[in-house]
């Protein structure tokens, strides 16, 4: 009976020639990816027009197609639309969650990844926190007061002001963190040491950050404090915010089995990320981040990329005499790439005629190039071939993402 039903389904499928269809082999819908680029591959039936995220994409005679999806951290939406030769339309939608991580967060420590990896990845992917310029996060480094102010301002979605004057003596208006410091100070979440100094590059203690967390989340005084850290006496200065933050689940001790808070130690970047991930706005944002049923629309279209296409590659002259020095003009024309990754370099392999294998070509008005930035790369060079016969020259165009496209021509070396 099952075989008969399956046969009926197949017959209905193949007999429905009026219904256009498209098949996506990769990526799958609701993909979670750490990659900057993932490939989209598929096939359409009797394709006439194919558009991905409203950009027309070329396809093969058999209807197969591919392109790169350049992901941003967060929600990435892909819409594949097509029309077949009978003017039937089809649409496929793909939702991809791009997550941002750091090389040092992917390293294994005694077979395990860093204890704060998830919170760091989630907040980074939301744009709330950032790593260092070298691409690492350095979770064990003390967080500075300027970093903490920036992260809080983002998570609380404060209005970031345009500055006309310095915020503090050590926070000049030109400092990129200055508007964030101003926003947090104006909101009452943090304050300077005095009217002159904020300590933008200073570390902040675990005692101080408990006070910041309680104020930022709006937790008021409690009638009775429950003591659960052996190293924080209740009568000690700063103890109340620590215990309020602990009772609300914002802070925890530094050990699993020993109730120690270590209040005077500098807060690390990892601890700061975990603390901020417990803020209500952060919790809501993370839930939304992983909700594939919300937020995927044209506003979240991911960028596309295809390999560079060399529209033409020419040499003048194409016939050279062996042993005779001749000036050869090479021209490479790149097909338009509006909306795709721009061209980084174009090079030509001259090894078969005694030259370098990665000789650079130019689109800047030099080295024989007639007009700069017209997508025609040029090179005038002097060749003295030593061997006769057909010699292959290969030109390669490379875009900013490292994608390559090549084209070949041949020179004929005669006696």
Domain covering 307-414, topology: Immunoglobulin-like (2.60.40)
Q: Which residues contact 335 (CB under 8 A, 6 or more apart)?
A: 308, 309, 310, 311, 375
Cα torsion 41, 43, 44, 45 to 10°: value is: 180
**Domain(s) of CATH 2.60.40.10: residues in the chain:** 2-98, 307-414
- What whole-number percentage of the chain has pLDDT above 70? 95
List phi, psi (to 5°) of 2. -60, -40
What is the average pLDDT across 59-86?
95
pLDDT band of residue 18 (cuts 50, 70, 90) is: very low
Give residue 20's pLDDT: 60
pTM for this model (two decimals): 0.84
What is the average pLDDT across 337-355?
94
Best-predicted range by mean pLDDT (149-158, 253-262, 323-332): 149-158
| pLDDT 10s digits, 284-335 | 999 999 999 999 999 999 999 999 999 999 999 999 999 999 999 999 999 9
Give residue 19's pLDDT: 53
pLDDT band of residue 21 (cuts 50, 70, 90) is: confident
Tokens of 210: 């408990």
pLDDT of 152 strictly over 50: yes
Q: Is 147 exposed, middle or buried (0-12, 13-18, 19+ CB in 10 A)?
A: buried
- The residue among 388, 407, 385 whose CA lies nearest residue 396 is 407
| pLDDT 10s digits, 213-252 | 999 999 987 767 778 899 999 888 889 999 999 999 999 9
Q: Which of 31-45, 120-134, 209-223, 313-327 has the lowest mean pLDDT?
A: 209-223
pLDDT of 13 strictly over 70: no
| pLDDT 10s digits, 279-293 | 999 999 999 999 999
SS3 (DSSP) at 289? helix
Give residue 55's pLDDT: 94
Give residue 223's pLDDT: 65
| pLDDT 10s digits, 183-199 | 999 999 999 999 999 99
Distance CA 393, CA 318 (A): 11
**In 249-342, where do the E strands start and end?**
303-305, 310-316, 319-321, 326-334
- The residue among 403, 116, 83, 398 whose CA lies nearest residue 273 is 116
Give residue 16's pLDDT: 43
Taking the domain 2-98, which CATH number applies? 2.60.40.10
Distance CA 381, CA 299 (A): 48
pLDDT of 176 strictly over 50: yes
Q: Give the mean pLDDT of the chain.
A: 92
pLDDT of 355 strictly over 60: yes
């Amino acid at each position: 009976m099952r075989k008969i039903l399956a046969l009926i389904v197949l017959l209905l499928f193949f007999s429905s020639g009026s219904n256009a269809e498209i098949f996506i082999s990769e990526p799958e819908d609701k993909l979670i990816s750490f990659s900057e680029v993932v490939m989209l591959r598929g096939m359409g039936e009797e394709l006439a027009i194919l558009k991905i995220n409203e950009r027309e994409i070329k396809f093969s005679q058999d209807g197969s197609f591919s392109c790169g999806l350049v992901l941003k951290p967060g929600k990435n939406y892909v819409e594949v639309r097509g029309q077949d030769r009978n003017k039937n339309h089809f649409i496929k939608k793909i939702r991809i969650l791009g997550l941002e991580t750091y090389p040092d967060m992917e390293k294994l420590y005694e077979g395990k990844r860093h204890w704060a990896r998830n919170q760091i990845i989630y907040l980074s992917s939301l744009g709330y926190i950032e790593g260092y310029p070298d691409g690492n996060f350095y979770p064990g480094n003390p967080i500075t007061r300027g970093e903490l102010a920036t992260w809080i301002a983002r998570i609380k979605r404060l209005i970031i002001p345009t500055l006309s004057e310095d915020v503090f003596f050590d926070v000049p208006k030109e400092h990129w963190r200055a508007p964030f410091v101003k926003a947090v100070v104006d909101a009452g979440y943090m304050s300077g040491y005095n009217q002159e100094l904020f300590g933008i590059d200073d570390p902040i203690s675990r005692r101080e950050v408990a006070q910041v967390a309680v104020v930022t989340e709006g937790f008021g005084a409690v009638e009775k404090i429950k003591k659960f850290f052996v190293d924080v006496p209740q009568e000690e200065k700063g103890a109340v915010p620590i215990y309020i933050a602990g009772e609300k689940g914002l802070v925890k001790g530094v050990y699993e089995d020993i109730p120690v808070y270590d209040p005077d130690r500098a807060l690390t970047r990892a601890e700061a990320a975990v603390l901020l991930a417990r803020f209500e706005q952060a919790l809501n944002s993370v839930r939304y981040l992983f909700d594939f049923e919300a937020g995927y629309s044209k506003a979240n279209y991911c960028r596309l990329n295809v390999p560079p296409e060399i529209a033409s590659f020419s040499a003048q002259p194409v016939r050279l005499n062996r042993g005779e020095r001749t000036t050869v003009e090479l021209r490479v024309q790149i097909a338009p790439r509006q909306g795709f990754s721009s061209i980084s370099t174009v090079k030509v392999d001259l090894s078969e005629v005694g030259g370098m294998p990665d000789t650079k070509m130019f689109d800047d008005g030099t080295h024989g190039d007639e007009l700069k930035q017209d997508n025609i790369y040029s090179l005038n060079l002097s060749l003295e071939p030593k061997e006769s016969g057909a010699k292959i020259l290969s030109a390669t165009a490379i875009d900013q993402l490292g994608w390559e496209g090549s084209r070949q021509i041949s020179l004929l070396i005669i006696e």
